[in-house]
Chain A
Amino acid sequence: MTHDGTALLLSARNVTKKVWDGRTRRTVVDDATFDVAAGEWLVLRGASGSGKTTLLAMLGAMLRPTTGEILFDGEPTSRLRDAHRAQTRRSTVGFVFQDLQLIEDLDVLGNVLLPFVPVGVTREHHARAEVLLARFDLSALASVKARKLSGGERQRVALARALLGDPKLLLLDEPTAHLDDARADKLLELIATIARDGRAVITATHDARVTTAKGVTRVIEMHDGRIGG
């Protein structure tokens, strides 16, 4: 539990990521320590290259920290082997990538169901996908190819896909990067409702519109891989 009594979902403990760029070993994330509770919307804010995407990838169990530990629901995830990390990721984390990573020639429904193709798409997945499409005003576009969608629609498809597995943690990397103010506001409202559902939401951004959005509970500043502010 956190100090204010909410359920602690995620803990980063002295998380450091170092990468070898061919000549030197660079520290991309340096000694990050913080907790995230369920229902919280945390924003990681920093300039390009400050390490927020790398930190987000580590929190989402896509990258392993060089040192330190990330605990999800009290369980360490950093030392898990790839297959088990993928399993954890699939069942507990939703991720919206900066470039969204939609399959252009696949229709909207196919894109939303995509994360569960490796393990088998069930009727429950189909039912949940339909609920999510309805929630995000995408039902009419279910059979439309991703390449024909507008920027806002693509963003909502990526969000629906991230929520298909009913994750406890939703991670978004620069969600408003290519959206005008009206579309960005609509998307931020959607994200706020997702956090209100009891999920933890972490957003990496350099966009001031996100940090001032209604529903954001905490902003963490990142500079050169270090956390401050």
Chain B
Amino acid sequence: MNPWIALQIACALVATALLVRASFTAFTVVRHFDVMRATEGQLALERRVELAATFVRVGAAAQVVALVLSALAADKLSRGIRGAMCAYGTFNSSPWGFRALAASVVAALAAGTLAQLYAFDARVRTMQLAKPLAWLTLLVAPLALGALALQCIFLFDLDLSVVASCCSVQLDAVASARAVTASGPRLASVALAAIAGAVCVILALACARRPRRPLAVLTGALGALVVPLALAAVVLEVAPYAFEVPQHHCPFCLLRADAGAIGYPLFGALFLGAIWIFGAGLSAILARAPDPRAAWASFASSRLRRAAFAWVLFALLCVAPVVRYAIVSHGATLFP
């Protein structure tokens, strides 16, 4: 077995095992937890809740690492698949490839956000959030399980002897046919992403300076809008500039060494910013009782500041290939 695949599966297994184990405790919490009691059973359950919180936080980290490894493994495997030039070819060589990737992204985003909520819970002096977090854990654990199942199906279905389609054959052809590189859709989506992202960063910084729960919820909701817009901007604007080809719209090629592997920090910053901003927004919804409310401001402030920093970094990484092209081409435009 390819060592990258083995590592990816091991990581996903660890993540799933920890999240599923935490969900068993969550199930007991939903049924029996009562913060006002202090019987031996309740005290034992509270200790299990603390352990489950650790499981979730480590499991979430493993889930994110598994996502990175799945991209890395697909990129490495592309060299062994005829016709594949990047991770796109690997994922596209099986009908399960993109499903597995989508499931991994969703599971990692959900687990990462849940880990943020557990980090918030650790700051709350009492265990008033135990039940809502247990419900959320029960929702996230099946996502991790589903992602692992799809990853396994994809990897077992993967046939290295198949002749795959390269990203340039498929994506570039679509791009040319639909003329997305023309001024309309490309400029509109980039402008939208830039405006929404800038507004989101400004709101995050304002809320970090003076935390208010409604503003944090609004920032989180806007953040959920920014993520797909930012991805569209990467596909339509950043990828062509990174390869200096106006029709080349493959985000997976950004993971390759000849693009400076810019995709890892780029998507990483977007991802981390997203989980911090979602964590701040969701924690604002959960912080209704006095104890969570007392702990919320400092938590939200730190997460929103981190999110703003991550997304500013993301924006700078997006701009870098455009600036580089402008310098090497002495100001020529890539798009006619």
Mutual binders A and B: yes
Across the interface, do A19 and B40 meet the contact criterion of CB distance under 8 Å? yes
Instruction: Tell yes or no: B46 within 8 A of A by CB.
Output: yes
- For the complex formed, measure the closest distance between the CB of B238 and the CB atoms of chain A, giving whole angstroms: 43
Across the interface, do B39 and A66 meet the contact criterion of CB distance under 8 Å? yes
Of B102-110, B121-129, B168-176, B316-324, the segment with at least 4 beta carbons within 8 Å of chain A is B121-129
Once A20-B40, A67-B38 are accepted as A-B contacts, the answer to whether A82 and B126 lie under 8 Å apart by CB is no
- For the complex formed, measure the closest distance between the CB of A81 and the CB atoms of chain B, giving whole angstroms: 5
Within 8 A of B (CB), among A73-93: 78-84
- Flag B28-40 by CB within 8 Å of A: 1 or 0 each: 0000000111111
In the bound complex, CA of A213 to CA of B51 (Å): 46
Choose one: B36, B39, B40, B125; the contact of A81 (CB below 8 Å).
B125
Instruction: Tell yes or no: B245 within 8 A of A by CB.
Output: no
Instruction: Tell yes or no: A175 within 8 A of B by CB.
Output: no
Across the interface, do B122 and A80 meet the contact criterion of CB distance under 8 Å? no
**A84 — which chain B residues lie within 8 A by C-beta?**
125-126
- Flag A115-130 by CB within 8 Å of B: 1 or 0 each: 0000000000000000
Across the interface, do A79 and B39 meet the contact criterion of CB distance under 8 Å? no
- For the complex formed, measure the closest distance between the CB of A49 and the CB atoms of chain B, giving whole angstroms: 19
- Flag A39-82 by CB within 8 Å of B: 1 or 0 each: 00000000000000000000000001111000000000011111
In the bound complex, CA of A83 to CA of B50 (Å): 10
**A20 — which chain B residues lie within 8 A by C-beta?**
40
Instruction: Tell yes or no: B139 within 8 A of A by CB.
Output: no
Across the interface, do A81 and B46 meet the contact criterion of CB distance under 8 Å? yes
Instruction: Tell yes or no: B43 within 8 A of A by CB.
Output: yes
In the bound complex, CA of A204 to CA of B125 (Å): 29
Instruction: Tell yes or no: A18 within 8 A of B by CB.
Output: yes
Across the interface, do A81 and B127 meet the contact criterion of CB distance under 8 Å? yes
**B127 — which chain A residues lie within 8 A by C-beta?**
79, 81
**B124 — which chain A residues lie within 8 A by C-beta?**
81
- For the complex formed, measure the closest distance between the CB of B184 and the CB atoms of chain A, giving whole angstroms: 55
Closest to B126 in A: A79
Choose one: B37, B39, B126; the contact of A80 (CB below 8 Å).
B126
Across the interface, do B36 and A18 meet the contact criterion of CB distance under 8 Å? no
Across the interface, do A66 and B50 meet the contact criterion of CB distance under 8 Å? no
- For the complex formed, measure the closest distance between the CB of A66 and the CB atoms of chain B, giving whole angstroms: 5
- Flag B106-139 by CB within 8 Å of A: 1 or 0 each: 0000000000000000101111000000000000
In the bound complex, CA of A66 to CA of B39 (Å): 6
**A81 — which chain B residues lie within 8 A by C-beta?**
46, 50, 124-127
Closest to A79 in B: B126
**B37 — which chain A residues lie within 8 A by C-beta?**
66
In the bound complex, CA of A64 to CA of B44 (Å): 12
In the bound complex, CA of A175 to CA of B270 (Å): 60
Across the interface, do A78 and B125 meet the contact criterion of CB distance under 8 Å? no
**B50 — which chain A residues lie within 8 A by C-beta?**
81-83
In the bound complex, CA of A20 to CA of B36 (Å): 18
Q: Which of A65, A82, A83, A84 is the most central at the interface, judged by chain B CB atoms within 10 Å of its CB?
A: A84
Closest to A65 in B: B38
In the bound complex, CA of A67 to CA of B34 (Å): 12
**B126 — which chain A residues lie within 8 A by C-beta?**
79-81, 84
Closest to B125 in A: A84
In the bound complex, CA of A183 to CA of B175 (Å): 91
- For the complex formed, measure the closest distance between the CB of B79 and the CB atoms of chain A, giving whole angstroms: 48
In the bound complex, CA of A82 to CA of B47 (Å): 8
20 contacts between A and B (CB under 8 A): A18-B39, A20-B40, A64-B38, A64-B43, A66-B39, A67-B38, A79-B36, A79-B38, A79-B127, A80-B125, A80-B126, A81-B46, A81-B50, A81-B124, A81-B125, A81-B127, A82-B46, A83-B50, A83-B122, A84-B125
Q: Add 5 more A-B contacts to A79-B35, A79-B38, A82-B46 (CB < 8 A).
A: A66-B37, A78-B38, A79-B36, A79-B126, A84-B125
> A residues bordering B, Cβ < 8 Å?
18-20, 64-67, 78-84
> B residues bordering A, Cβ < 8 Å?
35-40, 43, 46-47, 50, 122, 124-127
Which 7 residue pairs are nearest across A and B when measured between Cβ atoms? Answer: A84-B125, A64-B38, A79-B126, A66-B38, A20-B40, A80-B125, A81-B127
